[in-house]
A and B are shown apart, each in its own frame.
Chain A
């Protein structure tokens, strides 16, 4: 009996595989008829948190339109999985994700532009609008904005530091007095501890005078103008190195986003550079805190933090594009839903009216908004893939105390080579 059963399952397997090669040719004429007959299912992909938030809205939309809706949790590698699945015709209709995926998804032809009037667009905060605009087209409906700011323990440091140098001085003083263990909780390393964290270090890099890419006339970053390896970038990293392990000891590779927040929550450091996602932890810990923008270097430029925008995308290869557009541009973009989304999960809304509503409910939202003033959207161009790894490694080398100039030049060269290769 077992033998037959095994044979049976094996049988299926191979025949299934056979279907694979031919499936692509035939699915085109088979699916639409079948789809139209039964009621359509709108499929939405989101991460764990977002899916719980979105479920009620998707269900309400489905009910209203007499269709079905399904919110699927994609826990890891969302972008990669979306690309693979869409290419195989198994992708969703709507994707919830970060705006910096746009460049890659557009070059793969997997998301649709979204047409909105200037009026409606101006309802969004500027940085969010810029973030979802790529090559002059809007590709996503923004709903939440996130950026870094400085958390300060007001018991330990009542005054907000004007410059990062002040911050280090205060932190050091507190450390010498034995009130804290570390000068600042600054996430230098990614969660895996193995490479530097470009996202968190970017404010210091820009305040020191560095930049990643220049800007094209249409507002997109210009990959032809690479800022890493220039004298300005070397100067910026010299300032970072001065704070590093062989300098002031404020920046250390052992700090990740996680342990920095833990240090702050336990009162072992007076400062923490992090985003609004840490608010809940900090509040639970009961530390008295305030939120201000990340301060610039003394005499330096503004410390620009990267702004990440969560957005809804309409998949090009989805089966229910019209429904998806309807859901994304009308339902999700509405004022009521944006407010309800904030109530469900406190993230700074991208829609101005919802932002006012949120700021009135939670003063910290306004503080993060203030910190976003100097922010720039995380570059969405696909060329960013060439930057991450070399730049992350560069951060580690510099903070560790390796000679700055050769490291910066080498990283610049590695990025340029990668860009040429990808070009």
Chain B
């Protein structure tokens, strides 16, 4: 019994560590005096003043929609593209395969945001020719993010593909299916966990990204949550912590939703690839 009590004590401590900062944000969101340093764990009054102010003085829902579109598209497309490449690396044997895998890793080590100037050159050329994919367009930034994450995802997914017995898709091939069919009907369904987890990781990374977004998505209608919320605090003159806190909590909702939706795959997806054998 004493063991259990100790366990509860430890669990409470860890939970407190995890939750206290969030409680602080919740309190600040409700607190009518929305200043950062006077905020307390228990709000001095509860109201939706900050929320109302956020919705009326900023294009918050536009930011929200943009973030969802950018993060959702990036996650879905990046997983799709990476899964294709991972399949080739996992199931084909071809000249340059090893070099390809290593160079994926090496190329990916360069942080995109250090190359803002070259990227701007690319995007201004795209804007000249195909404005749909250029500056201030969601599609352009989505492609950019995919390019920045496809290498890591390919590695992650390839590792999982390797753990799916090759005999399964061999059997399909033997039966006269094409590689494409083997991929679609055997490998992909079995790899659902890792696809879910890499999708979630990309989603979270994208919704948090603000350095690139703040340069390439400047238009009134194009900004994302990260850029918009950061602006609320960064503006020295009009910093409003209360509004920022409301926005932060609302930003967590899609992540939690995606997380809940993918949860049944996730724990399995994180471990299955590694624990095999």
Alpha-carbon distance A136/B117, docked complex (angstroms): 32
Central interface residue in A2, A6, A48, by most chain B CB within 10 Å: A48
Which residues on B sit within 8 Å (CB–CB) of A20? Answer: 121-122, 124-126
Residues 125-149 of B at the A interface (beta carbon under 8 Å) = 125-130, 133, 135, 143, 147
Which residues of B206-240 have CB atoms within 8 Å of chain A's CB atoms? 214-215, 218-220, 223, 227-228, 230-231, 233-239
Kindly state whether residue A32 has any CB partner on chain B within 8 Å: no
- Shortest beta-carbon distance, A116 to chain B, in Å? 29
Residues A48 and B218 in contact, CB atoms below 8 Å apart: no
Contact A9 B77 (CB under 8 A): yes
B127 and chain A: residue at smallest CB distance: A90
In the assembled complex, B36 has its CB within 8 A of some CB on chain A: yes
10 extra interchain contacts, Cβ-Cβ under 8 A, other than A19-B128, A72-B220, A75-B234? Answer: A12-B143, A16-B130, A19-B129, A51-B220, A84-B215, A257-B237, A258-B35, A258-B239, A259-B36, A262-B38
Interface check B84, CB cutoff 8 A:
yes
Whether the Cβ atoms of A13 and B35 lie closer than 8 Å is: no
Q: Known interface pairs A75-B218, A75-B231. Does A19 touch B238 (Cβ–Cβ under 8 Å)?
A: no
**CB-based contact B239/A76 at 8 Å:** no
Q: Mark A196-214, 1 if CB is under 8 A from B, else 0.
A: 0000000000000000000
13 examples of A-B residue contacts, CB within 8 angstroms: A9-B143, A10-B81, A12-B130, A12-B143, A16-B129, A23-B124, A27-B128, A75-B218, A84-B120, A88-B120, A90-B124, A259-B35, A263-B38
A24 to B125, CA, bound (A): 8
Q: Kindly supply a per-residue 1/0 record for chain A positions 70-85, scoring 1 wherever the CB is within 8 Å of any chain B CB and 0 otherwise.
A: 0011111100010011
Does B116 interact with chain A (Cβ within 8 Å)?
A: yes
A279–B11 CA distance with the chains assembled, in angstroms: 47
Q: Tell me whether A6 and B215 are in contact (CB under 8 A).
A: no
CB under 8 Å from chain A, chain B span 90-125? 116-117, 120-122, 124-125
The answer to whether B126 touches A16, judged by C-beta atoms less than 8 angstroms apart, is yes
Tell me the residues in window 1-35 of chain A with beta carbons closer than 8 Å to chain B beta carbons. 2-3, 6, 9-10, 12-13, 16-17, 19-24, 27
Residues on A with beta carbons closer than 8 Å to the beta carbon of B81:
6, 10
**Docked-complex contact B36 and A74, CB < 8 angstroms:** no
Residues of B close to A191: CB separation below 8 A: 233-234, 236, 239
Query: How far apart are the CA atoms of A84 and B115 in the complex, in Å?
Result: 12
Q: How far is the CA of A90 from the CA of B128 in the complex (A)?
A: 9
Number of residues on chain A facing chain B (CB within 8 A):
45
Cβ-closest chain B residue relative to A75:
B231
Query: CA–CA, A275 to B235, complex, Å?
Result: 14
In terms of DSSP, what is the predominant structure of the interface of chain B? helix
A49 part of interface (Cβ distance < 8 Å) = yes
User: If the complex has contacts A76-B214, A259-B36, are A48 and B125 also in contact, measured as CB distance less than 8 A?
Assistant: no
Expressed in whole angstroms, the Cα–Cα distance for A74 and B227 within the complex equals 10
A266 at the interface (CB under 8 A from B): yes
In the complex, are the beta carbons of B121 and A88 less than 8 A apart? Answer: yes
Contacting residues, chain A, for B220 (C-beta < 8 A): 51, 72-73
Interface residues of A (CB under 8 A from B): 2-3, 6, 9-10, 12-13, 16-17, 19-24, 27, 47-49, 51, 72-77, 81, 84-85, 88-90, 190-191, 256-259, 261-263, 265-266, 275, 277
In whole angstroms, what is the CA distance A76 to B77 when docked?
29
Closest to B147 in A: A13
With the chains together, A400 CA to B24 CA distance in Å?
A: 28
B37 close to chain A: CB less than 8 A: yes
* Alpha-carbon distance between A67 and B62 when the two chains are bound, in angstroms: 27
- B80 within 8 Å of A by Cβ? yes
Q: A21-B125, A277-B237 are in contact. Are A259 and B37 (CB under 8 A)?
A: yes
Bound complex: CA A73 to CA B120 (Å): 18
Q: Which of these, A9, A49, A265, contacts B238 with CB under 8 Å?
A: A49
Q: For the complex of A and B, list the 8 residue pairs with the smallest distance between their C-beta atoms, beginning with the closest.
A: A20-B125, A259-B37, A262-B35, A88-B124, A23-B125, A75-B231, A277-B237, A16-B126
Output the least CB separation between B25 and chain A (Å). 16
Known: A20-B126, A88-B121, A191-B239. A3 touches B84 (CB 8 A): yes
For residue A3, which residues in chain B have a CB less than 8 angstroms away from its CB? 84, 180
Q: Interface residue count for B (Cβ, 8 Å)? A: 45
Smallest CB separation, A78 vs chain B (Å): 9
Q: Known: A16-B129, A76-B234. Is A258-B214 also a contact (CB below 8 A)?
A: no
Which residues of B are in contact with A by a Cβ distance under 8 Å? 33, 35-38, 58, 77, 80-81, 84, 116-117, 120-122, 124-130, 133, 135, 143, 147, 180, 214-215, 218-220, 223, 227-228, 230-231, 233-239, 241
Q: How many Å from the CB of A410 to the closest CB on chain B?
A: 27
Within the assembled complex, what's the spacing in Å between the Cα atoms of A265 and B180?
67
Residue in B closest to A257 when the chains form the complex, CB atoms: B236
Bound-complex Cα distance A51 to B58 (A): 12
Known contacts: A6-B80, A19-B125, A73-B220. The answer to whether A258 contacts B120 by CB under 8 A is: no
Query: Nearest chain-A residue to B236 (Cβ)?
Result: A191
- Chain B residues contacting A74 (CB-CB under 8 Å) are 218
- Is A266 within 8 A of B129, CB to CB? no
CA distance A257 to B236 in the complex (A): 7
Bound-state CA distance A262–B242 (Å) is: 13
Shortest Cβ distance from B18 into chain A, in angstroms? 24
B133 touches A16 (CB 8 A): yes
Q: B218 touches which one: A73, A190, A258, A259 (CB < 8 A)?
A: A73
Pick from A6, A76, A256 the residue with the most CB of B within 10 Å. Answer: A76
Q: Given the complex, which residues of A lie within 8 Å of B223, measured CB to CB? A: 73, 75
CB-defined contacts of B231 to chain A, threshold 8 Å: 48, 75-76
* Nearest neighbor of A3 in chain B, beta-carbon distance: B84
Please give me the residue from chain B that is nearest to A275 by CB atom: B237
How long is the Cα–Cα vector from A277 to B241 in the complex, in angstroms?
Answer: 16
User: Contacts of B239 on A, CB cut-off 8 Å?
Assistant: 191, 257-258
Min Cβ gap A274→B in Å is 9
Distance from B229 Cβ to chain A, minimum over Cβ atoms (Å)? 10
Contacts of B234 in A (CB 8 A): 75-76, 191
Q: Distance (Å) between the CB of B183 and the closest chain A CB? A: 10
Per the bound structure, the CA–CA distance linking A48 and B231 in Å amounts to 9
Q: How far is the CB of A362 from chain B (nearest CB, A)?
A: 18
Which residues of B are found within 8 Å of A9, using beta-carbon distances?
77, 143
Q: In the assembled complex, which residues on chain A have CB atoms less than 8 Å from the CB atom of B122?
A: 16-17, 20
Nearest A residue to B218, CB-CB: A74
